[in-house]
Structure 1
Amino acid sequence: MDKFYHSVRLDPALCRGCITCIKRCPTEAIRVRSKKASINKKFCIDCGECIRVCPHHAKQATYDRLDTMNQYEYTVALPAPSLYSQFNNLDDVNIVLNALLCMGFDDVFEVSAAAEMVSEATRQYISDREEQLPLISTACPSVVRLIRVRFPSLIPHLLPLNPPVEVAAILAARKAVKKTGLPREKIGIMFISPCPSKVTYVRAPLGTEKSQVDKVLAIKDLYPRLLASMKSVAGEDYPSIGTSGKIGISWGHSSGEASGLFTENYLAADGIENVIRVLEDMEDQKFSNLKFVELNACNGGCVGGVLTVENPYVAEVKLKRLRKYMPVARSHMEDDETDSVKWTSRIQYEPVFNLGNNMMESFLRLNQAERLMKKFPGLDCGSCGAPTCKALAEDIVRGDAGETDCVYYLRENLHRLSEEVAVLADDLHSKDKNSQDTLNTLKEYIRRISKEMSYLDSRDEEENEK
Structure 2
Amino acid sequence: MDRMQPVYTETNNCQDCYKCIRECPVKAIRIESDRASIVRDLCIFCGRCTLICPSGAKKVRDDVSRVKRMLRRDKPVYVSLAPSFVAEFAAYPVNELIAGLGMLGFTGVSETALGAERVTAETSCLLQQSASGIFISSACPSAVDYIRKYRPELTSCIVGLHSPLMAHAAMLRQWFGDDIRVVFIGPCVAKKNESDDFNSLIDAALTFKDLRAWFEEEGILPGLVRMNVPAEFVPFSAADGALYPLDGGMTTTLRNVVSLPDVSYMHISGMENIKAALDGVSALQCNIKLFLELLVCDGGCVNGPGFSSQKGTIVKNLQIEHYRKMHKTGSSGAVISADFPGIRSAFCTVSQPVRNRDCSESDIQEALRTVGKTSKADELNCGGCGYNSCRDFAIAMLSGMAERQMCVSYMRKVAADKASVLLQRMPYGVVLVDDSLHVIESNKVFAELAGNDLPALWEVRPGLKGADLRKMISSHKIFLNVLSSGNDLIDKNIDEKGRLMNLSVFTIQRHRIVCGIIQDLHQPEVMQEQVVRRIRQVVRENMGTVQKVAFLLGENAARTEAMLNALVTEQEKV
Structure 2 length as normaliser, TM-score? 0.62
**Distance 1:235-1:348 versus aligned 2 partners, 3 A rule:** closer
Q: In 2, are the aligned partners of 1:14 and 1:56 still within 8 Å (CA)? A: yes
Say whether residues 1:369 and 2:364 are aligned partners.
yes
- Determine which structure has the larger strand proportion and give its number: 2
CA offset at residue 73 of structure 1? 2.7
**Distance 1:346-1:322 versus aligned 2 partners, 3 A rule:** closer
CA offset at residue 99 of structure 1? 3.5
Of 116-125 and 330-339, deviating more is: 330-339
Letter in 1 for 2:140: C
Q: In 1, are the aligned partners of 2:51 and 2:305 still within 8 Å (CA)? A: yes
Q: In 1, are the aligned partners of 2:242 and 2:320 still within 8 Å (CA)? A: yes
Identity %: 27
Say whether residues 1:123 and 2:127 are aligned partners.
no
Counterpart of 1:36 in structure 2 is: 35
Q: In 1, are the aligned partners of 2:101 and 2:109 still within 8 Å (CA)? A: yes
CA offset at residue 400 of structure 1? 5.4
Counterpart of 2:86 in structure 1 is: 84
**Correspondence list, 1:64-79, <5 A:** 64-65=63-64, 66-68=67-69, 69-79=71-81
Of 240-249 and 269-278, deviating more is: 240-249
Say whether residues 1:219 and 2:208 are aligned partners.
yes
From 353, 356, 363, give the equivalent of 1:354.
356
Using the alignment, how far apart are the partners of 2:40 and 2:19 within structure 1? Answer: 19
**Distance 1:232-1:51 versus aligned 2 partners, 3 A rule:** same
**Distance 1:404-1:319 versus aligned 2 partners, 3 A rule:** closer
Q: In 2, are the aligned partners of 1:267 and 1:290 still within 8 Å (CA)? A: no
Q: In 1, are the aligned partners of 2:113 and 2:239 still within 8 Å (CA)? A: no
- SS of the aligned residue for 1:189 comes to strand
Say whether residues 1:231 and 2:223 are aligned partners.
yes
User: How big is the alpha-carbon RMSD for the aligned residues of Structure 1 and Structure 2?
Assistant: 3.7
CA offset at residue 102 of structure 1? 3.5
Counterpart of 2:393 in structure 1 is: 392
CA offset at residue 58 of structure 1? 0.7
Using the alignment, how far apart are the partners of 2:412 and 2:212 within structure 1? Answer: 52
CA offset at residue 390 of structure 1? 2.5
CA offset at residue 280 of structure 1? 2.1
Counterpart of 1:278 in structure 2 is: 277
**Distance 1:117-1:367 versus aligned 2 partners, 3 A rule:** farther
Using the alignment, how far apart are the partners of 1:158 and 1:346 within structure 2? Answer: 7
**Distance 1:409-1:167 versus aligned 2 partners, 3 A rule:** same
The gaps in structure 2 that reach 5 residues or longer are 420-461, 464-507, 509-574
CA offset at residue 240 of structure 1? 4.5
Letter in 2 for 1:154: L
**Distance 1:285-1:71 versus aligned 2 partners, 3 A rule:** farther
Using the alignment, how far apart are the partners of 1:321 and 1:53 within structure 2? Answer: 31
Q: In 1, are the aligned partners of 2:136 and 2:293 still within 8 Å (CA)? A: yes
CA offset at residue 44 of structure 1? 1.2
Say whether residues 1:20 and 2:22 are aligned partners.
no
Q: In 2, are the aligned partners of 1:72 and 1:188 still within 8 Å (CA)? A: no
Of 250-259 and 394-403, deviating more is: 394-403
Using the alignment, how far apart are the partners of 2:411 and 2:95 within structure 1? Answer: 64
The gaps in structure 1 that reach 5 residues or longer are 178-182, 356-361, 419-449, 452-457, 459-466
Counterpart of 1:149 in structure 2 is: 149
Letter in 1 for 2:143: V
- SS of the aligned residue for 1:266 comes to strand
Q: In 1, are the aligned partners of 2:364 and 2:391 still within 8 Å (CA)? A: yes
From 332, 336, 339, give the equivalent of 1:336.
339
Using the alignment, how far apart are the partners of 1:404 and 1:237 within structure 2? Answer: 62
Equivalences, count: 401
Of 94-103 and 69-78, deviating more is: 94-103
CA offset at residue 218 of structure 1? 1.9
**Distance 1:221-1:413 versus aligned 2 partners, 3 A rule:** closer
Using the alignment, how far apart are the partners of 2:242 and 2:200 within structure 1? Answer: 23
Using the alignment, how far apart are the partners of 1:40 and 1:344 within structure 2? Answer: 25
Letter in 2 for 1:222: L
CA offset at residue 151 of structure 1? 0.4
